[in-house]
Amino acid sequence: MLISGFDSVLSDLDGVVYAGPNAIPDAVESLNALAEVNVAHAFITNNAGRSPMSVAAHLRQLGVKTSAEQVFGSADAGAEMLARELNPGSRVLVVGSPYLRECIAVRGLEVVESHKDEPVAVIQGFDPEVSWNDLAEASYAIQNGAKWVATNTDLTIPRAEGIAPGNGSLVHAVKLATGATPRVAGKPESYLFSRAADRLDSKRPLVLGDRLDTDILGGFHAGFSTAMVLTGVDTPATALGAPVEQRPNYLIATLADIYRPYPTIKVLGYGVQVGDAVARIDNGKIAVDGNESDLNAWRAACHAWWLAHPRQSTHESPEIEFTSRGLQMLRRKNGEKQ
């Protein structure tokens, strides 16, 4: 099974374990079963609105066996970043949740509410109550020379009702107003992943996430293997056209797939075979002998495209065509024995 090659799991939350208040199918059972195979686990979240205690309580309510010590969030990471750079008592304008304010205060920094208080830094994290006035205050302070740290830059966040604007959308508004660019404390930077792996004393972590530009890219930056779970934001089609640093090592439908053998990827003379699906590049397009609803067909398409484009630096949307012929017809076409 896939998980047998790893000694820990570093899992995202939104879109992987839950969407809004509700658990995603297979997630709770799969996480709890890690103990049976002696694999440690931790949660890596860009959500700066809730404390590790609150997140752990939510997870336990859903049935996940965990503790606050296993939750690594971007609010703490951002506060630590500023605390390392600023003198004790330095004024920091906080745009975000009460927990983000607490993270700043407990590290000996003074929380202020306005640019008129002359803050030396601004930290910005997601909170549903953030208003236009909060963004304006941040903009004024940054224009006056304050350092700027964003806990994360996720453009969207999965909710029970659908996909909603995330902290990155609010950060982008301030960026447009100021012309400045923040430093990012959470994903896709490597800090949270490395910190969690160190805490677990893990040498072979597997990063689980639903977003290419945060989870998968962050795992890549940390030098860890990554698996994209198809229960959240990104899809096989977006993974297909991803730049090199955002290409996952594995594509899985749900967390239950970590307990199944991952299909062998065979590079053959007539294409890349995964299961009964075969993909090949034909005049700059992807031709897939397989069904579009079969995840193996997408796995084959991804690896065929990635092999042909090993240095791709931007996201592309290659043209792809599926047939229902599958491997058996392709073998007959190539004169192979059944």
Six-digit token pair at 242?
A: 């991803």
**pTM of the full structure:** 0.84
Give me the catalytic one of 7, 12, 117, 134. Answer: 12
Give residue-wise pLDDT tens across range 281-314. 989 999 999 999 999 999 999 999 999 999 999 9
Residue 162, helix vs strand vs coil: strand
Q: Is 201 a catalytic residue?
A: no
Peptide bond preceding 119 in cis form (omega within 30 of 0): no
- Cα separation, 201 vs 198, in Å, equals 5
Q: What is the mean pLDDT of residues 97-115?
A: 97
Give alpha helix (H) positions in 23-73: 27-32, 52-62
Q: Is the pLDDT score of 338 beyond 50?
A: no
Contacts for 336 with CB less than 8 Å, ≥ 6 apart: none
Q: Is the pLDDT score of 333 beyond 90?
A: no
**Beta strands across the sheet bearing 205-209:** 71-73, 40-45, 8-11, 205-209, 225-229, 250-252
Q: What is the mean pLDDT of residues 162-178?
A: 94
Print burial letters for 99-132: b (CB count within 10 Å at least 16), e (below 16): bbbbbbeebebebbeebeeebbbbbbbbbeebee
pLDDT given for residue 127 in this prediction: 93
- Cα separation, 254 vs 17, in Å, equals 10
Q: What is the mean pLDDT of residues 254-275?
A: 96
The identity of residue 323, as a single letter, is: T
Q: Is the pLDDT score of 336 beyond 80?
A: no
pLDDT-wise least confident of 10-14, 98-102, 236-240, 330-334: 330-334
Q: Is 117 a catalytic residue?
A: no
pLDDT, averaged across the chain: 94
Q: Give the model's confidence band at 331: pLDDT under 50 very low, under 70 low, under 90 confident, else very high.
A: low
Residue pair 251/303 in contact (Cβ under 8 Å)? The answer is no
Six-digit token pair at 267?
A: 């590079």
User: What DSSP designation does 263 have?
Assistant: P
pLDDT given for residue 257 in this prediction: 98
Give residue-wise pLDDT tens across range 203-226. 999 999 999 999 999 999 999 999
Q: Is the pLDDT score of 325 beyond 70?
A: no
Give the β-pairing of 121-124 and 162-165: unpaired
Q: Give the model's confidence band at 20: pLDDT under 50 very low, under 70 low, under 90 confident, else very high.
A: confident
